[in-house]
Amino acid sequence: MLTAIKRRARFALLRIAVLQLSGLLAAALGACSGNGKGLDANGQPLNGSGGGGNVPLAADFDSIQANVFTPICSVCHSGAAAPEGLMLDAQHSYSLLVNVPSTEVPSLLRVDPGNPDNSYIIQKLEGHAAVGAQMPFGEPPLPASTIAFIAQWITDGAPPGQSGGAAEALAVAAVAPLDAAQLERPPAQMALTFTRALDATHLDPNSARLERLTRSISAADGTETQSVTVMPIELHIPAGNERTLLLTPRGVLPEGDYQIVLSRDAADELASRDGARLAPTTTSGANDIVARFSVRMQP
């Protein structure tokens, strides 16, 4: 009796195996690739929200942004929880890529202009980076030809696109981490992107500060006071990406609330290459607070 049941079960599994194999063979004979009707170049409906590019893929930043970074990478690499703090939406990608050290392998730049083989982005896309999975994560790898376009753009010196042209006033265009972000681990670096190229000779250790805010309640009268601790950081304007100011903590940031502050003191205020001064941002007076974020470790 038991033997008969076993035999029947085995036969049933064999039938499933044969059915699957023959079903796939039938599918192979009948199924073919899509005709692309009503879709953009990324396979998304032309009137949908998931698409990105009708711009032909070429070795220039705007085309790569429209065809690769926006529709594919920024699906994950965007917002406050962007992996490795790398936001690849159109507003942030250039300033967080070009001449910016990778957080996974800090000895390598994410994009090293003129040197695609040593650019971390190429290693991640080709799947031989020293750390982590091949990108795009969980998706088929980018075609070799697409990676070749990105490599060619890097070989050409990784110039910014037309959309990154000069603006009239010097102002903060983007901040990473985002304002009001709640981070689950301390950022390895922070980045401010400006509307115009910065004058590196005007960069002073006090041009930008990272402040940690600590609140305490007085036991005597219950009043709340807030103290500010200036955290040790290094400031750096990457060569070839002068619209970006990198703030790198000298140690691991502890849990807490932070704010990034730009000095408005004439002695150490940032300026553009042609001498333009910073336009006022969120606050007035001697300093501008450009972003606040908090670090709360997950248990």
Partner 1 sequence: MRRSALRGLLLLSAAAAAGTLLPQLASAEPYLAIQQGLKCIMCHVNPTGGGARTLFGDVFAENVMAATTLPAGFPAWTGQVVPDFVRIGGDLRADWTRSTMPHSPITDQVGLEQMRLYADVSVIPNKLGLYLDELVAPGAAQTMEAYARYGDTSNWYIKAGQFYLPFGWRLQDQTAFVRQVTGINMTAADDGIELGLERPNWSGQLDVTKGVANVSSPSGYQVTGQLVRIQPLWRIGAAAAYTHATAGDRQTYGLFAGLHTGPVVWLSEADLVRQAGFSNGTRSMVPLLGEIDWLLHRGHNLKLTYEFYDPELNVHNNQQTRWSAVYELTPIPFLQLRAGFRRYQGIPQNDAENRTLAFLEMHGFF
Binding site for partner 1 (CB under 8 A): 10, 13-14, 16-18, 20-21, 24-25, 27-28, 31-45, 48-50, 57, 75-76, 81, 83-84, 104-105, 123, 127-134, 137-146, 148, 184-185, 297-298
Q: How far is the CB of 137 from partner 1 (least distance, A)?
A: 6
152 vs 281, beta carbon nearer partner 1: 152
Q: How far is the CB of 185 from partner 1 (least distance, A)?
A: 6
134 vs 287, beta carbon nearer partner 1: 134
First to last CA, the chain: 54
Residue located via tokens 């036969």: 11
111 vs 129, beta carbon nearer partner 1: 129
Q: How far is the CB of 150 from partner 1 (least distance, A)?
A: 12
Q: How far is the CB of 296 from partner 1 (least distance, A)?
A: 10
77 vs 264, beta carbon nearer partner 1: 77
Q: How far is the CB of 35 from partner 1 (least distance, A)?
A: 5
Nearest residue to 242 (alpha-carbon basis) of 207, 275, 193: 193
162 vs 298, beta carbon nearer partner 1: 298
Q: How far is the CB of 130 from partner 1 (least distance, A)?
A: 4
104 vs 112, beta carbon nearer partner 1: 104
